[in-house]
Amino acid sequence: MIITNVSGFRKEMKEYMDKVIKNFETLIISRGKSGIVVMSVEEYNSLMATNHELSSGKNEKRLDAAIEKLKTKDSFAKDL
């Protein structure tokens, strides 16, 4: 994660954009008590896909079951 302010972002906009895209960095541009997050489209799409998967009730049950198996140290190979 990279943090800068608006004037720093203006001065080096191209460099910041290159870091965000090429290095999958997340850029925070601070604006007083608030801020703006800049990320690559690929990173954004990945977050949205993860959010979609986690919002599904079926996937939530599967995730809970997998966590329980890990807690009880059951092997996932038994299910194959």
In angstroms, rounded to a whole number, what is the distance separating the alpha carbons of residues 13 and 16?
A: 5
Report residues of the chain scoring pLDDT below 50: none
Q: Which class for 33: exposed (0-12), middle (13-18), buried (19 or more C-beta within 10 A)?
A: exposed
The pLDDT, as a whole number, for residue 28 is 97
- Contact by Cβ (8 Å): 18, 40: no
The pLDDT, as a whole number, for residue 61 is 80
DSSP β-ladder status, 27-31 and 34-38: antiparallel
